[in-house]
Amino acid sequence: MSEASEIVGHFCTSDGWLSARCRHDARVIELLPEAVPDAGSWFLPAAVDLHVHGGGGHDAMEGEEAIRGMLAASAAGGTGALLATSVTAPFADIDAFIDAAERVMAAPDIGSATLLGVHLEGPFVNPGKLGAQPPHAVPLDPGQLETWLARPAVRVVTYAPELDPDNVVPMLADRHDVRVQIGHTLCRWAEARVALAAGAGTTHLWNAMSGASHRGGGAAVAALAYAEHAEIIMDGIHVERAAFEAARRAVPLLCGITDATAATGMADGHYRLGSLAVEKRGTRVVLSDGTLAGSCLTQRRALEVLREWDVDWADISRLTSTSPARWIGAEGLGQIAVGARAHWMELAPSPTDAALRPVAIWLDGRRHPFDEER
């Protein structure tokens, strides 16, 4: 986009809501304070989702076209930018996944969510805490890990700290400016504390990890006590409100994620999660035994859950956009400010109850209205 445009509305900035005239192209050029009626449009920084396995029937492990389909579906669901997330898989399949993501990053599609890179969820995780991960967990291989860390697309790696008694994973990741997160782990809290002190974050807090207890606690209690960063799935199913509130009080950079799968935005039925068969049943995605297997959550639905839990718009903005962008160093995202990318979620009052509802996603200054269906 070369020509500048203007939009008038209420913008959620780091200093609170600003009623302003925004001049922009693909980035914000000016924000000039101006009186705007409450009935006007309201703008949040578009969501940055650090954990997305699929969407629109597409599983990210299936290759370049599947990733492109997932990105289009994610934008329709309200996501502005994301990390395509792998599952535990053979090394060759992970290599192919990274290759496909890098091809998409080199030639992005207009109207799709921005692919910021990839999140490798495994394979160096605990086989006793796979959750809905395929059965390809392996012992830590520092040489293979460093090969992946050196790839430009790799931004986050999830691992189990009990597989790394010498704490080499955070050191290797720091060398390549990649974030590491503990997850799919049965570690004791003291093991988790060592990893967190070395800069690790936490993958989908509460889920697929040793828990919180006043004695014998594991990764979850360590995260509440010591973590700077943690992901949390915002569907109201994986984590109930009280557990969310505890995490929100304890973790400075709490980042809302969807953990979305190929079933997101689709009808009930059968889909893939890597090499696993999963089924969408209403608001849940499950294995044949009923185990939760990622989600079918969109950002638009996540906003509804957070509002039902009385989270204000400024905190929603931090959870879904500002904090995740900060965690991975996503330049120009997570904020509405001069110089930032014009990636926004547009809200408007409902004609029936005046509550704000998502109506469009803006990507690099282009408006893409939502369909009625979420």
Average pLDDT (39-65) is 97
H/E run at residue 195: helix 189-197
Secondary structure of residue 80 in the 3-state scheme: strand
Give the tens place of pLDDT for each residue, 98-127: 999 999 999 999 999 999 999 999 999 999
- With 0.85 as the threshold, say if the pTM is over it: yes
Q: Which residues belong to the active site?
A: 259
Note the Cα 18 to chain centre separation in Å.
26
228 pLDDT band, cuts 50/70/90, is very high
Residue 70 and residue 75: Cα distance in Å, rounded?
9
Q: How does pLDDT run across 262-302, given as a tens digit for each residue?
A: 999 999 999 999 999 999 999 999 999 999 999 999 999 99
39: three-class secondary structure by DSSP = coil
- Percent of the chain exceeding pLDDT 90 equals 95
pLDDT in tens, 246-267: 999 999 999 999 999 999 999 9
pLDDT of residue 2: 60
CB-based contacts of 63, cutoff 8 Å, min separation 6? 96, 100
Annotate 290-330 with DSSP letters as a single string: S-B-SB---HHHHHHHHHHTT--HHHHHIIIIIHHHHHHT-
Domains delineated in the chain: 5-44+336-369 (2.30.40.10), 45-328 (3.20.20.140)
Mean pLDDT, the chain, integer: 96
Segment 121-170, tens digit of pLDDT: 999 999 999 999 999 999 999 999 999 999 999 999 999 999 999 999 99
Taking the CA of residue 351 as centre, how many other CA atoms within 13 Å lie in the half-sphere pointing to its CB? 1
